Structure 1
């Protein structure tokens, strides 16, 4: 932590500076003999804390505080003053002076003030990091929306980094490897580190791959090709695993990102154009994400299932997944889950001797009355009546 001690009295200045320096090895304490000297040092170096006397010739403590307030807003100011000048020093509140030290000061007072400010600095840096991560996550979601052609007003060009060109590529490896969070996290970090110098890179993690969008001020096609080799080599050296890279290409239009994304997945064999078939869709014509959703619901219909939890597992935006499901299947996700449960309950009612309350629990319902109500809404009959009307024919002995 960088601290500047300002006082025109050498004995006071050096005594307090030495006192602070003795408190922690990581404190870097410099001194200035007056306000003018302090401003000169502030122009050359950033300081976390400036401790300044109020009464100094030329540029006094108030003028120095005003300068720091206007030019170094993240620097904390501590005013050093005597009892006679305390009320005068209080006028510096407008310059965000955070603490006051009364002369003569004790080591305990100095230590308490420095510790309090250090805690404020750590808190501010922590909040800044949280805000940065939140903004980065939001930007990743915006880019993911571009992949799936989410229309305006879901995104606006002003929400994205400035660019002249957009470059996109995707990376995949063996599914069992990519399922590991540590592997996905490491690949994402490798890509971000290597792409950093070319512009603003956004890495979106999905179920079977990671896709990177580079926003650049110029066409980086040639540089990116070299960078991709470096990424592949880094993954092989650091993670001891091989990867495949699908190149989507370059564009200067946001609305073309979806086509670049599809192209990159096609190169990896992860995307197929939908093929319409008579009397509905074949399994291959259903979007891969929706196939994953269907498989999950058909396997775990007895558990609590939410679209949000599935979206998290598939690394996609919940709004996008909801919209895609409706477009692909013609019904909402909620309707599909309910229909799956009712179909399974019909099978159990026909082919087993389980009591209705047991069937209710087996298909994911905790309230039998609610289950019966939903069943009747779909089948226009109660579970009991359905079982009675669909009993297997008994064979009569000769």
Structure 2
């Protein structure tokens, strides 16, 4: 905590400064003999609290307090006043002055004041950090959505810093998967710190890779040295976690709408797909790329009667629902929900044909609580109601 003592009496200044310095290294006392010197120090140093006498030549305490209030509103100003100036100082409390102390101020009153201000500053810093953390979490979520071309709500656009260029880095371990979840998030923090030296960075943890987005104030993407940053990331993560990585990047102007295109460019190159959309890899590599879809389809086959959803499947795979949705549709030509309905209706057809279960029982066994809704889905898929279908296959 930095405290500026302003008084034209050297003895008063040095006495208060000794009390401040005795509190330890976290407290620093600055001294000024009038308002003009005080303003010069405030401009040069980071000051948290000003303790100033009222009566001084040139700029007095009240004038100084007014200047500080207008130009540095985060600084608390405390007036030192005598009994004859008490009413004068009291009225100044309504003009933005934080507090007043009667001269000669006792050691206990000074310590009490300093502790009070210090506690308030700590609370403000904590609130500021929490606010920044919440903003970063929301910004990261919006960036993740933009990777899949989802629009950003207008209210959240102010979260993004001004940038003239941006880059997307896709980081994947050369092994089959990234390490366990806790280690992936440790890697995320390292990458954010490394990229943070070049601008504002956000890192998304996906199931098979990390996606890092760098927003830079540099005038063009060439100034970001993406190759150098990629090499540094690979080197640091390799040494910390003994893991080999493949890192691809794509850079563009500061238009956030390009994030999806840059990400897809990286993913195509990472997965061996050329600019025309042709997959150049052997079939075994393509199969590995579809691993998440295979797992999801197996879960649907096994858990169709439960409460399996796109969100719950994505959570189990440690990917975003948007990512799984896009990947699933690209590999199966149907959405997650369409495939789940298809499986459920298929199971219902089997039960209608092979058992004597009542239709409401079959409805529950394939994951539906509402028989009317189940019947509508069944007819939309087969052209017949469940009863009509049973009649047609059991004749």
Work out the CA distance in 1 between the residues paired with 2:83 and 2:355: 90
1:71 aligns with 2:71: yes
Shift, 1:296, TM fit: 4.7
1:233 aligned residue: 235
Does structure 1 conserve the Cα–Cα contact (< 8 Å) formed by 2:360 and 2:371? no
Change beyond 3 A, Cα 1:373–1:335: farther
Shift, 1:319, TM fit: 6.9
1:194 aligned residue: 194
Work out the CA distance in 1 between the residues paired with 2:331 and 2:84: 78
**CA offsets per residue over residues 105-142 of structure 1, 9 Å max, x none?**
44443333322322221222222223323333333344
1:103 aligned residue: 103
Change beyond 3 A, Cα 1:320–1:237: closer
Query: What are the equivalent positions in structure 2 for 1:168-207 lying under 5 Å apart?
Result: 168-173=168-173, 177-178=177-178, 180-207=180-207
3-state SS in 2 of match to 1:203: strand
Query: What are the equivalent positions in structure 2 for 1:155-166 lying under 5 Å apart?
Result: 160-166=160-166
Work out the CA distance in 1 between the residues paired with 2:252 and 2:300: 38
1:210 aligns with 2:210: yes
Work out the CA distance in 1 between the residues paired with 2:312 and 2:52: 55
2:281 aligned residue: none
Work out the CA distance in 2 between the residues paired with 1:234 and 1:195: 12
**CA offsets per residue over residues 72-109 of structure 1, 9 Å max, x none?**
23222223334443432244346533333333444443
1:396 aligned residue: none
1:20 aligns with 2:23: no
Work out the CA distance in 2 between the residues paired with 1:201 and 1:350: 57
TM-score by length of 2: 0.75
3-state SS in 1 of match to 2:50: strand
Change beyond 3 A, Cα 1:135–1:344: same
Work out the CA distance in 2 between the residues paired with 1:357 and 1:195: 57
**CA offsets per residue over residues 188-236 of structure 1, 9 Å max, x none?**
3333333334333333332322223333323336822122212111111
Does structure 2 conserve the Cα–Cα contact (< 8 Å) formed by 1:198 and 1:220? no
TM-score by length of 1: 0.74
Work out the CA distance in 2 between the residues paired with 1:19 and 1:243: 56
Work out the CA distance in 2 between the residues paired with 1:338 and 1:41: 71
**CA offsets per residue over residues 314-362 of structure 1, 9 Å max, x none?**
6776678778888998887666656655554555666678898887766
Shift, 1:392, TM fit: 8.6
3-state SS in 2 of match to 1:73: coil
Query: What are the equivalent positions in structure 2 for 1:252-263 lying under 5 Å apart?
Result: 254-263=256-265
- Which one is further off, 23-32 or 332-341? 332-341
| Ranges in structure 1 where 5+ consecutive residues have no aligned partner | 276-282, 394-398
3-state SS in 1 of match to 2:196: helix
Shift, 1:45, TM fit: 0.8
- Which one is further off, 320-329 or 217-226? 320-329
1:376 aligns with 2:375: yes
Work out the CA distance in 1 between the residues paired with 2:235 and 2:3: 44
Change beyond 3 A, Cα 1:345–1:166: same
| Ranges in structure 2 where 5+ consecutive residues have no aligned partner | 279-285
Query: What are the equivalent positions in structure 2 for 1:1-398 lying under 5 Å apart?
Result: 1-93=1-93, 96-150=96-150, 160-173=160-173, 177-178=177-178, 180-214=180-214, 215=216, 216-220=218-222, 223-250=225-252, 254-269=256-271, 294=297, 296-305=299-308, 307-309=310-312, 337=340, 340-341=343-344, 343-344=346-347, 347=350, 363=366, 370-379=369-378
Change beyond 3 A, Cα 1:47–1:314: farther
Shift, 1:173, TM fit: 1.0
Change beyond 3 A, Cα 1:241–1:98: same
Change beyond 3 A, Cα 1:173–1:248: same
Shift, 1:69, TM fit: 1.8
Work out the CA distance in 2 between the residues paired with 1:142 and 1:51: 45
Work out the CA distance in 1 between the residues paired with 2:190 and 2:62: 48
Work out the CA distance in 1 between the residues paired with 2:164 and 2:237: 29
Work out the CA distance in 1 between the residues paired with 2:354 and 2:335: 29
2:282 aligned residue: none
